[in-house]
A = this chain, B = another copy of it.
Amino acid sequence: MKPISDILKPLEPDFKVFQEKFADYLKTDTPLLDKILDYILKQKGKQIRPALVLLSAHLTGGINDRAFRGAILVELLHTATLVHDDVVDDADMRRSLPSINALWKNKIAVLIGDYLLSRGLLLALDNHDFAQLSILSRAVKEMSEGELIQIEKSRLLNTTEEVYFRIIQGKTASLISSGCEIGGLSNTDDPEVLQSLRILGQSLGIAFQIRDDLFDYITNEDDIGKPIGLDIKEKKLTLPLIYALRQSSEKEVRAIKKLIERSKKAAEFEAIVDFIKEKQGVEYATKVAFEHAELAKERIRTFPPSIYRDSFLDIVDFVVNRTK
């Protein structure tokens, strides 16, 4: 698998402009805000979402101001949800640095999330970009809905595969899908093209989250920077476990659910992992992730060939093969 920096090579000049514009847009006249926003810039991850906006723009004609704006907006909303997620999950770390809530407390993290969200919306509004705004506000709704359904279901330990897909569609795929659509929107209004980008973004987003959920079962703490078995501790049932439970007798299901209920200790977590292995839950989830990745790639290939299309295809492979 190519490293992400190689994959994104063709995008480098555009990405430099994006970074500058993003940092610029985050400057304020409030010292505390500036300090926190600076810190957020330092915490930045692989920035796959803005990369997808820019690549989708390239697929449909090339980069322009509206594409940069879309990339900034998507990254702002993503950052806002990460800051809120860390409050939601009581997380102390984010990308190997202390989280905003850990450094400045929940108080400030909630407000910073709201602030970033509103700045994102205003970026579209101030440019009278109704269409961008509409796509992304829907993503914000779907993201919070997805997370809320996850919390609801986790308490009952009865997430079905259907519900799992609804959850990850909302919490992860909606923003990735919106990002792809917005990238295309910067060059075309053609509903077919936009729909195609939206659908491929959805497949990619689903593959992304299934892979993410697999980390709980396939890596160790050092590799990924989050404690392994976290989902289980929070009673979040993800695809490997959902599949394993579906393959089991009622008696087995009861026994495993009992383990999940009190899975505070390593031994219990290991027993759950063994159960998933026995039922081939990891293999199944990996297969489903690859299927969705393949669907995304098929659609990407309907666009004209270019170095950007190659990058896009490589990103899909990266997402579904990454180990952190």
Q: What residues make up the interface of A, taking CB atoms closer than 8 Å to B? A: 28, 30-33, 81, 84, 87-89, 106-108, 110-115, 117-119, 121-122, 125-126, 128, 130, 133-134, 137-138, 140-141, 143-145, 147-149, 151-152
| Interchain CB contact under 8 A, B112 and A148 | yes
List of B residues within 8 angstroms of A147 by Cβ = 111
Q: Are B33 and A115 in contact (CB under 8 A)?
A: no
Decide if B106 touches A118 in the complex (CB within 8 Å): no
Instruction: Assess whether B112 is in contact with A84, with CB atoms less than 8 Å apart.
Output: no
Given the complex, which residues of B lie within 8 Å of A112, measured CB to CB? 144, 148
Add 13 more A-B contacts to A84-B111, A87-B107 (CB < 8 A): A30-B149, A30-B152, A33-B145, A84-B114, A87-B110, A108-B148, A114-B117, A115-B145, A115-B148, A118-B140, A118-B144, A121-B133, A126-B134
Assess whether B125 is in contact with A141, with CB atoms less than 8 Å apart: no
A125 & B148 in contact (Cβ 8 Å cutoff): no
Complex: chain B residue closest to A84, CB-CB: B110
Please tell me if the beta carbons of B114 and A149 are within 8 angstroms of each other in the complex: no
Asked whether A117 lies within 8 Å of B115 as measured between CB atoms, the reply is no
Q: Considering the complex, give the chain B residue whose CB is closest to the CB of A133.
A: B125
Can you list 29 residue pairs at the A/B interface with Cβ under 8 Å?
A28-B145, A30-B152, A32-B152, A81-B114, A84-B114, A87-B107, A87-B110, A88-B106, A88-B111, A89-B107, A106-B106, A107-B151, A108-B151, A111-B144, A111-B148, A113-B114, A114-B117, A114-B144, A115-B141, A115-B144, A118-B137, A118-B138, A121-B133, A122-B137, A122-B138, A122-B141, A125-B130, A125-B137, A128-B130
Given A114-B84, A119-B141, A141-B118; A148-B106 close (CB under 8 Å): no
Interfacial chain B residues near A138, Cβ < 8 Å: 118, 122
| Assembled-state Cα–Cα distance A128/B88 (Å) | 32
Q: Which residues of B contact A152 (CB under 8 A)?
A: 30-32
- Given A32-B148, A33-B145, A145-B33, the answer on whether A137 and B121 have CB atoms closer than 8 Å is yes
Cα(A121)–Cα(B10), bound, Å: 36
Closest B residue, CB atoms, query A166: B30
**Which residues of B have CB within 8 Å of A144?**
111-112, 114-115, 118
Asked if B119 contacts A125 (CB within 8 A), the reply is no
User: Please, how many angstroms separate the alpha-carbon atoms of A119 and B138 in the complex?
Assistant: 8
- Quick one: which of A108, A110, A125, A140 has the most chain B CB within 10 A? A110
Considering the chains assembled together, what is the distance between the CA atoms of A121 and B135 in angstroms? 11
Min C-beta distance of A90 to chain B, whole Å: 8
Instruction: A144 to B122: give the CA distance in the assembly, Å.
Output: 14
Chain B residues with CB under 8 Å of A133's CB are 121, 125, 133
